Every structure is written in structure tokens, then in C-alpha cells.
Amino acid sequence: MAGRIAHRILIALALLSAVAGCGYRLESGTARFTDPSVRMDVSPFANRSTTPDAGAMVAAHFREELRRSGFRGTFGNIGANYLVEGTVREVRSDIFSHGSDRFALENRLTLVVDVRVVEVVRGGVLWKESGLSETASYFSGTDAQYTEANRRAAFEQVVRRMAVRLSQTLRVLL
């Protein structure tokens, strides 16, 4: 008898939880972030570094990461709701470790970016940050092509990390 009552209570609880959960769905981002009518101007970032196309790469990866994280609006400067401006201030390589022959074995590449997001309609600055940085290590050797290939891979890694960071922050703000 006690088993039947427990069984009925479990069935009733299962039905109640099914009814309570009906229609509930998980959404990522806020309404403005996922609104398809939102238009955002993300032009190539200004490049003050010695790395060619650094600003263009950061902006391209940023747009790609916005899409990946759920942004459903469009990109373009005509009729934009939000203006994203940025500057790649610096891309530098620092020696991190030496080998026994006094040549650098490991280097650390650092990307430094300034960013500003303006809400065009209201004219107010939504977010402004200076000196955002990301780092990645890469190995070097006596072969210049090996070292440059590793440096380029490290550069792409820090650009991707920066794009994710910017996208996550913008997603919270919108």
C-alpha cells in the first residue's frame, strides 16, 4: 500500500515538473544582441603596430566571433545602431626563455588593443577600454621560417582570444 502511494506521488511530481517546464527554453544573449534589425559598424581597427593588417584581422575575427556567439543583426556603416572603433596599439614579442647556446627558445607575443563602442542613436559611449591585452607563447629556432611560422600562429591565437573577449563583453552590454 505504501509503495502505491509513493508511486502515485512520484507520478504526480513528474507531471507537475513537466507542466512547469513546458514552454521554457534557454536563450543566449539579450534581446538587442539577437535582434535581426540591429545594425553594427565594425570597421577595421586602426593599426599602430608594425604587424601588417593587424587591425583588419582583429576586426574580422571580432565580427566572426559576434556571429558565432549569437549576434543576428547585420554589419555596415549606413544606419548603424552601434559603432565599434578600435586601435591595435602594439604587437610585441619578448624573449621568455634562452637555451644553453644563448639563443631565444621561447618568445611571448602580446597584442594590445583599445576599443570604444558608441550607441549612435543616443550618441553615448557604451563601452571604452584602453590597453586590453592578450598573450601567447611561441617557440623560435635558428630557422627563420620556423620562427616566423610560429610567430604568425601565436599572432592568430591572440587575435582570436581578443575577438572572443570583445564579443563576450559586447554581448553583456547589449
Tens-place pLDDT, residues 39-53: 999 999 999 999 999
The model's pLDDT over 96-128, given as tens digits with 9 standing for 90+, comes to 887 777 676 899 999 999 999 999 988 899 999
Q: Which pLDDT does position 25 carry in this prediction?
A: 41
Q: Cα separation of 124 and 49, whole Å?
A: 28
Nearest to 166 by CA among 121, 128, 109: 128
Averaged pLDDT score across all residues of the chain: 87
- Res 142: pLDDT: 84
Q: pLDDT digit string (tens) for 148-162?
A: 999 999 999 999 999
Residue 58 pLDDT > 90, yes or no? yes
Asked if residue 80 has pLDDT above 80, the reply is yes
pTM: 0.78
pLDDT of res. 1:
60
Find residue 85's DSSP bridge partners: 116
Q: What ranges do the domains of the chain cover?
A: 30-173
Share of the chain above pLDDT 70, in %: 84
- CATH for 30-173 is 3.30.160.150
Q: How far apart are CA 45 and CA 112, in angstroms?
A: 12
Using the predicted structure, report yes or no on whether residue 18 has a pLDDT greater than 70. Answer: no
Q: What's the chain look like in SS3? A: CHHHHHHHHHHHHHHHHHHHHCCCCCCCCCHHHHCCCCEEEECCCEECCCCCCHHHHHHHHHHHHHHHCCCCCEECCCCCCEEEEEEEEEEEEEEEEECCCCCEEEEEEEEEEEEEEEECCCCEEEEEEEEEEEEEEEECCCCHHHHHHHHHHHHHHHHHHHHHHHHHHHHHHC
- What is the predicted pLDDT for the residue at 161? 97
